[in-house]
Amino acid sequence: MTSTAVIQLFVFVLAGFVGFQAITRVPPLLHTPLMAATNAISGISLVASIVLAGANQSVLSTVLGTIAVGCAMANVVGGFLITDRMLAMFDKAKAAKQEERASAKVH
């Protein structure tokens, strides 16, 4: 095993641990936004796709890379938009309630 691989393993295990800690604290209320969010973030494979599509190695690589850029980009754009849409609803639900309270006080 090379030293690079060992460092990679370190990164993987520690990131997994951090992820586990962070995600167990997400309440079931937000589990669907969580899935949409991880989906959006996993669009980071865009960075690998970009290198493949732009490296001009061979026709095959460029074609595969371009399709990969498209797929990853769709996840990034769609993922962040839909997560925001959902989280805005949870915001709105709260705002609506505050409004209600305010109007109840007036009456």
Partner 1 sequence: MIDIFIQLAYLLASVLFIFALRSLSRPDTARRGMQLAAFGMLIAVAATLLHTRIVTYEWILIGAAVGALIGYPLGMWVPMTAMPQRIAFSHAFGALAATLVGIGEYAHLYHEQSLTRGVMTALGFEVLLGALTVTGSLMAFGKLQELLPGRPITFPFQNFFNLALFGLGVAGLIWVVLFPYDVWVFGLICVIGLLVGILIVMPIGGADMPVVVSLLNAYAGLAAVATGFALDNNVLIVVGALDGASGFILSVAMSKAMNRSFANVLFGAFGSAGGADEAAASGASGEMTAIQVDDAALRLAFANRVIIVPGYGLAVAQAQHQARELVDLLEKRGVDVRFAIHPVAGRMPGHMNVLLAEAGISYDKLIDMEDINERFAGTDVALVVGANDVVNPAARTNKSSPIYGMPILNVSEATSVIVLKRGKGAGFSGVENDLFVAPKTSMLFGDAKQSLMQLGAEVKLA
DSSP 36-90: HHHHHHGGGHHHHHHHHHHS---HHHHHHHHHHHHHHHHHHHHHHHHHHHHHHHH
Rg (CA), the chain: 21
8 near partner 1, judged by CB under 8 A: yes
**How many residues belong to the chain?**
107
Nearer to partner 1, 82 or 102 (CB): 82
Least CB distance to partner 1 at residue 106 (A) = 15
Report residue 80 as tokens.
Answer: 């962040």
Report residue 89 as tokens.
Answer: 């609803």
Nearer to partner 1, 25 or 105 (CB): 25
6 near partner 1, judged by CB under 8 A: no
Site for partner 1 in 16-45 (CB under 8 A): 16, 18-20, 22-45
Site for partner 1 in 43-62 (CB under 8 A): 43-58, 60-62
12 near partner 1, judged by CB under 8 A: yes
Site for partner 1 in 59-98 (CB under 8 A): 60-62, 64-94, 96-97
Least CB distance to partner 1 at residue 105 (A) = 15
Sign of CA dihedral 10, 12, 29, 43: positive
